[in-house]
Structures are given as structure tokens and as C-alpha cells.
Structure 1
Amino acid sequence: MRNVTAAGRNVDEAVQSGLQELELTKDKVEITVIEEGNKGFLGIFGKKQAVVKLVEKIDPIQQAKAYLQTIAEAIAGKSDVTVQENKKSVSFHITGEKAALLIGKRGQTLNALETLTQLALNRYPGQYKNVTVDAENYRSKRKDTLSQLAIRLADQVLKTKKTVHLEPMPSSERKIIHDTLSGYDHQIKTYSMGEGENRHLVISHKR
């Protein structure tokens, strides 16, 4: 993080001088007053300038963005990362000529990037945000695919009365299937089984 020590005729002037040097606004820095300064006797004798230290505040989201972009470019070359933030979550979207390389089989690479980015973002105390990482609009396409799969398997269960176990998938993807089927048919129920990487969704018939 950047920092600067600045001086001025008073504290406000010293702060403004430091802000100009850092090219930041006041809300982006931590300010420590080192010397209040004084005008001296008759404005001449014992006159001291005010001295302040400005330290750029840590921006967890921008640090997480830079971290994600570094990894993305190591895998897929030149990449751009855009950020959308709301109160409880942050979405990072990666674009680039080879952004598809960041998806992996059934989104496994993208899921790993999402986990790493969430850890990077939430390593600072006092805040927690859910993180989504996307590339090539994969998340939206995957949601449509999972919703269609859920309905097809639910119809199969209704017809055969046999329970279906899906492959292991992240909680966010299990939720898509659960939400899709929550009001689909009162005879269908969904629940998760297994631990860790083997956690998967089960679709069964209410007997």
C-alpha cells in the first residue's frame, strides 16, 4: 500500500498536499497527524509547519480483483476482470480471447478460482461477502442446463418411482436444482448426501 508524509501551513493544507501526491480522495486514506504546527509568535518566531502521514486504505475487493486477474492471465493470457458489488456479494466476470480456458470440465477450474478469490477477499476482519466468478457467461448457461436436467430427472423419478443420485457438485449448483424442483411436483423431494467433494443431490419420490 502507498503512503506519503506531507507538510503544510496547517493540518488541512498538509492533508490536501498528501492527497494530491497520492492522487486519492480523503475517504481512501488513513490520516495520522504527526505535527499540528503553529503560527509562532507574530507569525514569525517558532513557526512550525503541520506534518501528516497518509496511508492508502486497503480495498479488499480491488485486491481480490488484482489477484484473480493475475491468475487468469497466467492461465489464459490477456484478461480483463470487471466487478459488480452489492451489500452481501461480489461478482467478478472475466473476459478475454482465451477466457474459455478458465472454465474447465463442468466449471471445475472456474469453481476453484471462485474459492481462491473468496478466500482472498474475506481474509480481512470485519467483513464477509459471497463471491461469484464467471467467464464467457458460463454461470448463466450452466444454470439453464441444470434446470433442464432437474426437470428431466424429476419426470424420470415420477415415472419409475426410483431415486436418482446426481454427480457431486458445488452447493450453489445443488441449490439451482433444489430451487427448480421445490415447486415442480409435490411428489418430488430433493436432499443432499455425502461429505466434502462427494456431496451430491438426490431426487426421490415421496412415498
Structure 2
Amino acid sequence: MENMIEIKASNKEVAIARATKILEVTADQVVKVTELEKPRSFFGFFAKDGLYKVEISRKVETEEIKISGLNKEVAETVLQAETNIEAEQIKKEARKELKENREKDIVKLSQELLNKMGLELEVEVLRLEGKNCVINLYGEDNGIIIGKKGKTLNSYEYLLNTLIKDVRIDVDVEGFKEKRNVTLRDLARKMAEKAMKTTKPIKLNPMPPRERKIIHEVVNKYSELDTYSEGKDPKRYIVIRKKK
């Protein structure tokens, strides 16, 4: 919104000063000054003011009025909300950066361990949620790191978890563990059927906690059987027997 006023003054600067005072605006809001009549004098006497048209913009003033017109309590609430949003954004970015750095640390340590084993494999983080992390290994030495029935992979996973204390690392090799899970469920059912036919306890080979959990879940569906673990990791194993 544009406003203007005609001011009589001895010069342009005085005209601006008078116009801003009358209209209660600042000099920054003056957009144009036009000289309509020049100031005159007769040999330095009988000076006559000139006439100036001063145009101003009300935009800044309107914004200031809008802000100053806010209820104080509302203004404080808005400010607090903006502060909370900013703080939440900072925390979100910090968590993201922390997660990215944590992933880099896990990949670096996992890769160093593979290098020391002399294996040509790459590491990628599939998922990192809280204190649980799933990483995938891939490369030409897939078969070596898996080993017989996943024993080498289990040993690698166990060693990695002893090095990284604050996060539980689950290591897979291009979907091997899902296939292994199917095999473990089949094994659990076979061993359960075998235990049903004998009074002797059946001992399984040592397994990592994740694999033992699968065996327990399947065998516990047989109401006549009990399962429990003996030994210490990494040689801890499951025992299946009939209930007494």
C-alpha cells in the first residue's frame, strides 16, 4: 500500500524529515521524493520553501503493526513452539548423524576383521535399530566365511560381538541365514520325534543363541518334551528330553 504527502521545505532532506515525522514512518519507508516547486530566494533574502511530494510504503509498518498486535501470551506460545520444533530438528539431525557414524564404525571394524582373516568380502549394514544391527557380507569368499553348516559364520559373528559391546550384531551372507533357519526347524522336528521314542536325553551340536532360540521354539510345541541349554558360548548346546 502506497501513501504520499506534499511538504513545503527548504530542501529535499528537510522534506523527508518532515514527511516521516508527520506520517510516523522511518526514512527506510520513503520510496520516492519529487520536487514540485523549487525553493526560491531574492539575493539571499525573502527565502521561499519549495514543494515536495514524498511517497512512502506502508508495508513494513503493516507488518510491524501485525506483530505488535499479537496477544503477548499467543506470541510467547508461538515462539516456544518454534523453539521446540527447532530443538526437535536438531535432535533428529544429531540422531541421524550418530547412527551414520555408528554404521561406519561397525562396517570398518567388520571389514578389518575380514581383512585379517584374508577374506575378499564386503560389508553392508542392512538394519540398525537401537542396540540391534544386521549386516550382510558379500563377495567371492562367501562359501569360506559360511563354513560347514554356518560354523565359520557363527564364529565370526561371535568374535565381532565380543569386539562391539554396545550393539548386538547379526551377520548374514546373502540370505544364508534364512535358508539355515529352514534347516534348523527341520532339524528340531526330527530331534523332537527322536526324543519322543527314547528315554535318553538328546544333545545337539553347539549353536549360537539365535539358532538355539529357533530349536527351543519348535521343540517347545511338543508338550511331552523339555529343552534346556548347557555349556558356555560359543560351545553352548541344547538338550532335548522327555518330561518326567
Q: Same fold (TM over 0.5)?
A: yes
Q: Which has the higher contact order (CA 8 A, sep 6+)?
A: 1
CA contact (8 A) 2:158 2:234 kept: no
Q: Please name the residue that 2:125 is paired with.
A: 82
Q: Which whole-Å CA distance do the structure 2 matches of 1:67 and 1:163 have between them?
A: 41
Shift of 1:150: 0.7
Structure 1: unaligned runs, 5 residues or longer: 1-25, 31-55, 123-127
**Among candidates 219, 224, 229, match of residue 192 of structure 1:** 229
**Among candidates 198, 202, 206, match of residue 239 of structure 2:** 202
Q: Which whole-Å CA distance do the structure 2 matches of 1:204 and 1:90 have between them?
A: 34
State the number of aligned residues: 152
What is the CA deviation profile of residues 166-197 of structure 1, one whole-angstrom value per residue up to 9, with x for unaligned ones? 112222221110011222x2101101122344
Q: Computing the radius of gyration over CA atoms, which structure comes out larger, 1 or 2?
A: 2
Q: Please name the residue that 1:137 is paired with.
A: 175
| Superposition RMSD in Å | 2.9
User: What does 1:28-107 align with in structure 2 at a 5 Å threshold?
Assistant: 59-73=101-115, 75-107=118-150
| Structure (1 or 2) with the greater helix fraction | 2
The change in CA–CA distance for 1:84 and 1:144 in structure 2 (over 3 A counts) is same
**Among candidates 152, 171, 184, match of residue 109 of structure 1:** 152
Structure 2: unaligned runs, 5 residues or longer: 1-92
**Among candidates 143, 164, 170, match of residue 121 of structure 1:** 164
Name the SS of the counterpart of 1:161 in structure 2: coil
The change in CA–CA distance for 1:78 and 1:189 in structure 2 (over 3 A counts) is closer
CA contact (8 A) 1:80 1:96 kept: no
TM-score calculated relative to the size of structure 1: 0.63
